[in-house]
Amino acid sequence: MEGVVRGTEDFRWLRTGTKAPGDLDTQGELNRALHYHQTGQLQMAEPIYRKILAANPNHADALHLLGVLAHQVGRHDIAIDLIGKAIHNNPRAPHYHDNMGNACISLGRLEEAVFLFQEGS
């Protein structure tokens, strides 16, 4: 193969935009986790969110959705931490602010919740 450095044939995915062998299909996994989450199968969704975050600790959607899940099971402190990280990585997602506001309400942090709701709108 002319023009290709020897030994790089296995890296065609860099040029084609396809995923590398063994790479996580992040969007596919996120969709799968979201399906479980939306159908109330939280115990199935959680490990998938964690798998995504193991591969990409700054994945804003996975941080947010794992935070929402934590809020749903009463772990509001963890929800605020996770959703706060999601907001740090993607401050322009209004639903992140709203969901963090909901978790703040659950902890009685009403002023913070009002601020978050205003930020989200």
pLDDT of residue 22: 52
- d(C-alpha 34, C-alpha 55), whole Å: 17
User: Is position 14 within any domain?
Assistant: no
User: Is position 52 within any domain?
Assistant: yes
- Domain of 93 in residue numbering reads as 20-120
User: Is position 2 within any domain?
Assistant: no
* Nearest residue to 50 (alpha-carbon basis) of 63, 37, 41, 39: 63
Q: Please check whether residue 95 is in contact with residue 62, taking contact to mean a CB–CB distance below 8 angstroms.
A: no
CB atoms within 10 A of CB 91: 12
- d(C-alpha 61, C-alpha 44), whole Å: 17
13-65 per-position pLDDT tens digit: 333 344 544 567 999 999 999 999 999 999 999 999 999 999 999 999 999 99
68-97 per-position pLDDT tens digit: 999 999 999 999 999 999 999 999 999 999
Helix or strand (DSSP H, E) at 100: helix 94-106
User: Is position 7 within any domain?
Assistant: no
User: Is position 61 within any domain?
Assistant: yes
User: Is position 24 within any domain?
Assistant: yes
* Nearest residue to 89 (alpha-carbon basis) of 54, 50, 61, 49: 61
pLDDT of residue 15: 39
pLDDT of residue 23: 63
Report the number of distinct structural domains present in the chain. 1
User: Is position 107 within any domain?
Assistant: yes
- The answer on pLDDT for 4 being more than 60 is no
CATH number at residue 110: 1.25.40.10
Q: Please check whether residue 48 is in contact with residue 42, taking contact to mean a CB–CB distance below 8 angstroms.
A: no
**What does pTM read for this prediction?**
0.80
* Nearest residue to 60 (alpha-carbon basis) of 28, 35, 26, 32: 26
